[in-house]
Amino acid sequence: MRRLRRLAHLVLFCPFSKGLQGRLPGLRVRCVFLAWLGVFAGSWLVYTRYSSYSELCRGHVCQAVICDQYHKGIISGSICQDLCELHLVEWRTCLSVTPGQQVYSGLWRDKDVTIKCGIEEALDSKAQTDAAPRRELVLFDKPTRGTSIKEFREMTLSFLKANLGDLPSLPALVGQVLLMADFNKDNRVSLAEAKSVWALLQRNEFLLLLSLQEKEHASRLLGYCGDLYLTEGVPHGAWHAAALPPLLRPLLPPALQGALQQWLGPAWPWRAKIAIGLLEFVEELFHGAYGTFYMCETTLANVGYTATYDFKMADLQQVAPEAAVRRFLQGRRCEHSADCTYGRDCRAPCDRLMRQCKGDLIQPNLAKVCALLRGYLLPGAPADLREELGTQLRTCTTLSGLASQVEAHHSLVLSHLKTLLWKKISNTKYS
């Protein structure tokens, strides 16, 4: 009876015709092998996914290290008490894409927030017990005890000059940094406050948030403790397929990607409103109060929007100051222009005679954004607008050359695009 039951089970999962009954042993072995392979593949998938998650999502490590430094009096900040004593910061969904930069959605005092914290030093340490001391020595090592407020001001100004360029607006930015450091408003900056703000300045995104804090399309900074900081809640993603694991995205055919964008994404008029906000953000990055910034990873995954479909830059990690990009390119040896790439797509030409990278990028921000908008706006665009919109976007993607040479054309093309989109949605519920 047992043999018959096993045979019935085999027939159920590995059906075969009567003519193949004579080859039952071979089929049985094959089916058992396939079943084993399926179980092995499934187990491996679960294991790798769990391992990847446990490596990427280490918010508990981040909080433990930060609170350890806070309780020792090494760091301070406006949310330290809420984070480490009152436990009013709730960590929710893990959004990290790299182990060194922890990103979580969260809740703080009834506000939806994004929690960000870097733990490179702790993760690099082999021993768990050595993680906190290593972080203290590497990250919170400046300024040292005995540094005067004047010396700290000069130290901050020199750092900003190196990263943003020698701009006349920098002393005002230094004043904002010192004002932020004095979070308890006692008119003095303690060593713990200075160490915390200095550590924050080493975070590229925080430096960008500080530089763009008056711009409506960058997330607002809400508070910090050491180099952990909170910003406004996570904006909605502009393209739902961007949330797929990176290994699966190339497997989607372009037609399916376009269909997902139209089915799951906002209606076209809302997409037009988001696009207008993205174009305004490009304007804000071009010759702002604290210099020019380059978008060095131009993907829809970084495009976010609020509940009212106002554009918000979802991730500033890959937005770089012009001074930082030029410093990276200066004197860099190259064989091809690919050797002159900062980030993902900030690429400069290679002087093959001198075998050195040139200082100006091949594509300005606007050209890269327009290439992105062709796939975002043209599908589902109104018939009476599609041709003209396609023409303007194609013209926009051809922008190149020195920033000084394209500035007037840059502004004109950007203005035409915004006007074209705004005309279509103005005086409607979408405006």
| Per-residue model confidence as pLDDT tens for the chain (431 residues) | 444 444 444 444 444 444 545 555 555 666 665 666 666 555 544 444 444 456 789 899 999 999 999 999 999 999 999 999 999 999 999 988 888 889 999 999 999 999 999 876 433 333 343 334 344 445 688 898 888 999 999 999 999 999 998 999 999 999 999 999 999 998 899 999 999 999 999 988 898 888 888 788 888 899 999 999 999 887 776 444 444 554 455 555 655 655 665 566 788 999 999 999 999 999 988 877 888 899 998 887 778 888 888 898 878 888 999 999 999 998 899 999 899 999 888 999 999 999 999 988 888 999 999 999 998 899 889 999 999 999 999 999 988 755 555 567 788 889 999 999 999 998 776 66
How far is CA 348 from its chain centroid? 22
Paired residues of 356 in beta bridges: 333, 351
Q: Give the pLDDT confidence of 12-55 residue by residue, as tens digits.
A: 444 444 454 555 555 566 666 566 666 655 554 444 444 445 67
Q: Are 396 and 413 in contact (CB under 8 A)?
A: yes
Which helix (DSSP H) or strand (DSSP E) does residue 366 occupy? helix 365-377
**Entry pTM:** 0.77
In angstroms, the CA 29 to CA 348 distance is 59
**Residue ranges of the alpha helices (H) in 286-364?**
322-329
User: What pLDDT does 13 receive?
Assistant: 42
Whether residue 133 is preceded by a cis peptide bond, meaning omega within 30 degrees of 0, is no
CA distance between the termini of the chain = 73
The residue among 323, 327, 379, 372 whose CA lies nearest residue 345 is 372
Q: Are 276 and 150 in contact (CB under 8 A)?
A: no
Q: Give the pLDDT confidence of 147-166 residue by residue, as tens digits.
A: 899 999 999 999 999 999 89
- Going from the N-terminus, what domains does the chain have, and what CATH number goes with each? 58-119+142-232 (no CATH), 252-427 (1.10.510)
Q: How many alpha carbons lie under 13 Å from residue 282 in its C-beta half-sphere?
A: 27
Cβ neighbours for 389, distance < 8 A, ≥ 6 positions apart: 377, 378, 381, 420, 421
How far is CA 236 from its chain centroid? 13
Burial class (CB in 10 A: 0-12, 13-18, 19+), 244: middle
User: What pLDDT does 300 receive?
Assistant: 79
Can you spell out the DSSP letters for 11-77?
Answer: HHHS---GGGGGGHHHHHHHHHHHHHHHHHHHHHHHHHHHHHHHHH--HHHHHHHHHHHHHTTS---
For tokens 């200066």, what's the residue?
330
CB atoms within 10 A of CB 334: 20
Can you spell out the DSSP letters for 294-334?
Answer: EES---GGGEEE-TT--EEES--TTEEEHHHHHHHHTT-B-
Two structure tokens written together for 412: 């004109």
